[in-house]
Structure 1
Amino acid sequence: MPNLLEGYPIVTEIPVAWGEMDALNHVNNVVYFRYFETARLDYFAGIGLMEEMQATQTGPVLSETSSRYRRPVTYPDKLLVGSRISELTGDSFVMEYKIVSQQQGAVTTSGTAKVVMFNFKQQKRASLSPSLVEKMVSMQPELAEFAVTTD
């Protein structure tokens, strides 16, 4: 299964809870956005984004998100959620997610999220800091080509 998440530098393990199932006996579609959120926060922890937000009052705001459901997930199961950056600009980035069911040994869901950096004190968009971009590139060297747009 690890090869299903190749290229995803952060992998979050999430157990499926009984209460996440709906009347059709599979995980409700809304729950996947919580899974994505958990994976996103793990990625943010990996680059120190939340600590930087505390110091600078500049942090991430979710601009848009989407999900593609491929296979139903049921309880009991453990999911592996891979997260990575697929696009990087001066003030935003797009994250990609891939969810793999351990029970099925297959990809069940994929998704994206556009995240915009926002200065909460000034109430306006803000640039990604060079240190965050550097940490993203260290986790995903292929992002180096985008890093020049963040100056």
Structure 2
Amino acid sequence: MSDNNATFVCQVSVAWGEMDALAHVNNVAYFRYFETARIAFFEKYYPLEQLYRAGCGPVISENQARYKRAVTYPDTLSISVSVSKVHSDRFTLEYEIFSDNQQAVTTTGSSVAVMFDFRQQRKADMPEDLYKLLKNIQQIEP
């Protein structure tokens, strides 16, 4: 992995079905990799089921990816997740995908998640414990 001291890293195996006609992983698969890492991050640090049962939770308002190197099947990818920005109603997660085969970072990206009240159909403030957790994680990262 690169010198990024990530808060969280998960591994994903590249599936044959993620390949496209140009013989590399299709660009949309990377957003699924980000999603997989994001969900695993929350399962470890702050399971979201209780928030969702209460009618609120984070929704993705923005995704971005930068493709640096093509990835092909078979490969194992290590996806790091770090917290870069935390506001009272939203936060930003940064991703870095590292290929075992290439021993290099292939993709970087980010997601902005906004807290949303599903019952009232509007933006909401983040629960204080989640806000503090994300701020703490952000502060311990380089």
Q: TM-score, normalised by structure 2?
A: 0.91
**Superimposed CA distance per residue, residues 107-137 of structure 1 (whole angstroms, 9 cap, x where no aligned partner):** 0000011110001111111111111122223
| Partner SS for 1:19 | helix
> How far did 1:45 drift?
1.4
Correspondence 1:22 to 2:24 = no
Comparing 44-53 and 75-84, the one that deviates more: 44-53
Number of aligned residues: 141
Comparing 47-56 and 36-45, the one that deviates more: 47-56
Structure 1 distance, partners of 2:43, 2:97, is 19
Check conservation: 2:14, 2:75, Cα contact below 8 A: yes
- Fraction of identical pairs, as percent: 45
Could you list the runs of 5+ residues in structure 2 that have no partner in the other structure?
A: none
> How far did 1:62 drift?
0.7
Which residue of 118, 121, 126 corresponds with 1:128? 126
Correspondence 1:40 to 2:38 = yes
Q: TM-score, normalised by structure 1?
A: 0.86
Instruction: Name whichever structure is richer in helix by fraction.
Output: 1
Task: Quote the residue 1:148 is aligned against.
Answer: none
2:54 partner amino acid: T
Which residue of 1, 9, 15 corresponds with 1:11? 9
Check conservation: 2:58, 2:116, Cα contact below 8 A: yes
Inter-CA distance 140–6: structure 2 relative to 1 (3 Å threshold): same
Inter-CA distance 46–136: structure 2 relative to 1 (3 Å threshold): farther
Structure 2 distance, partners of 1:92, 1:47, is 17
Could you list the runs of 5+ residues in structure 1 that have no partner in the other structure?
A: 144-151
> How far did 1:28 drift?
0.5
Task: Quote the residue 2:80 is aligned against.
Answer: 82
**Pairwise CA RMSD of aligned residues?**
1.6
Structure 2 distance, partners of 1:46, 1:136, is 13
Moved over 3 A (4+): 137-140
> How far did 1:98 drift?
0.3
Task: Quote the residue 1:65 is aligned against.
Answer: 63
Check conservation: 1:39, 1:81, Cα contact below 8 A: yes
